[in-house]
Amino acid sequence: MVCGPGRFVVEGNDVDAGKKLNVGVLGLGRMGTVHAAGLARHVPRARLLALADADLSAALRVAAELGLDVACCSTDEALSRDDIEAVVIATPTGTHGGLIERASAAGKHIFCEKPIALELEVIDQSLDVVASTGVLLQVGFNRRFDANFQRMRSGIAAGEIGAVHLFHIMSRDPCLPPLEYLRTSGGMFLDMMIHDFDMARFLIGEEIEEVFAMGAARIDPRVASEAQDVDTAMVAVRMSGGTLGAIDNSRRAVYGYDQRVEVFGADGLLRAENGAPDQVERIDATGRHGPRPFLFFSDRYPQTYITEMRGFVDAVLDGGTPPVVGADGRAAHVAALAARKSFELGRPVRTDEVNASRSTEESHRASDQPW
């Protein structure tokens, strides 16, 4: 927002931004809707041309809800249009690998929601195709773009708390998703905690070297019996520079979306608390009461989805490196795989135990990126 003399100007897509990037969104569920709205309204250098979904009615519904005058079509049609220069992949995770390969082959730059894929082999194949076609790929680790976490990272890098000794990342969703979702999600470590592994790399600036995971179905036993997953997990982490960390996840916090981080160092600590829709406190005969935290990711992190997309569009138009590259997605995935293996085996697992198929050169390149 620009503050002019006597008026506020909200920066929207009506701003003349020079050359624009023509974009199509693939998958118009929860995340596709967020990205379509952001691209259409808040990314001035993007021009949204198409919404594509395997279920055409989903694309039509989103276009109508958002009041967008864009093409609603199949994925094939979107990928075959010459005027579409980039695609946002917001389809279920199991489809990402195939779509990345097809979009790359069609010469489209790619913004792909996390995770890149569920299997490391598919991720490696996707990254190889991206590299060979020369398109840019950005991965949707949106939390890196949150103002609190960016402030923490710059404070750590500037030495505000001295040498970092410990971190604690708490990430708890407000409600258990349907069992059907859990069955195809890849499980809590790959689907949910992957954000937190990325946050650990982003904040601490070190690679994840070893994890020791515990998990349980504490909310609903059917999560274990019918989805072979956990709904509650705690992971101890050792980073490559020696920093120790704890990450805990729950699929159900009754008070809302709980996203807190603390980083502790030789000279103090940095802490980011939950946001809330208002800051009003009521004190009465029963005690002190405040608002509940934001309900879920689209309430807590709306600006992050816009900022990450602006970063992607700028990288394509200006010929730069995307702010979150494929190797970042791979490194967080490797940590998640190690956590899953640790949970299954009941012992600590080093990330290089699950990272045999590719040299660590790639992930070191990724770790250079945030710093």
Site of interaction with ligand NAD (CB under 6 A)? 26-32, 52-55, 58, 75, 90-93, 95, 113-114, 140, 142, 191, 297
Q: Which residue is nearest to ligand NAD (CB)?
A: 29
Q: Which is nearer to ligand NAD, 42 or 238 (CB)?
A: 42
Q: Which is nearer to ligand NAD, 115 or 265 (CB)?
A: 115
Minimum distance from residue 166 beta carbon to ligand NAD (Å): 26
Minimum distance from residue 112 beta carbon to ligand NAD (Å): 8
Minimum distance from residue 31 beta carbon to ligand NAD (Å): 4
- The residue behind tokens 């109508």 is 64
Q: Is the peptide bond before 302 cis (omega within 30 degrees of 0)?
A: no
DSSP-based three-state secondary structure for 330:
helix
Closest CA to 156 of 284, 263, 47: 263
Minimum distance from residue 78 beta carbon to ligand NAD (Å): 9
Q: Which is nearer to ligand NAD, 30 or 282 (CB)?
A: 30
Question: What's the first-to-final CA gap in the chain, in angstroms?
Answer: 28
Closest CA to 211 of 148, 169, 152: 169
- Tally of residues, the chain: 371
How many helices (DSSP H) and strands (DSSP E) are in the chain?
14, 17
Q: Which is nearer to ligand NAD, 259 or 342 (CB)?
A: 259
Q: Which is nearer to ligand NAD, 115 or 215 (CB)?
A: 115
Q: Which is nearer to ligand NAD, 164 or 335 (CB)?
A: 335
Judge contact between 71 and 50, C-beta under 8 A. yes
Minimum distance from residue 177 beta carbon to ligand NAD (Å): 9
Q: CB neighbours (10 Å) of residue 348? A: 14
User: Rounded CA gap, 185 and 115, in Å?
Assistant: 10
CA dihedral 192, 196, 201, 203 (to 10 degrees): 150
> Rg (Cα) of the chain, in Å, rounded?
21
Q: Which is nearer to ligand NAD, 161 or 230 (CB)?
A: 230
Minimum distance from residue 352 beta carbon to ligand NAD (Å): 26
Minimum distance from residue 185 beta carbon to ligand NAD (Å): 7
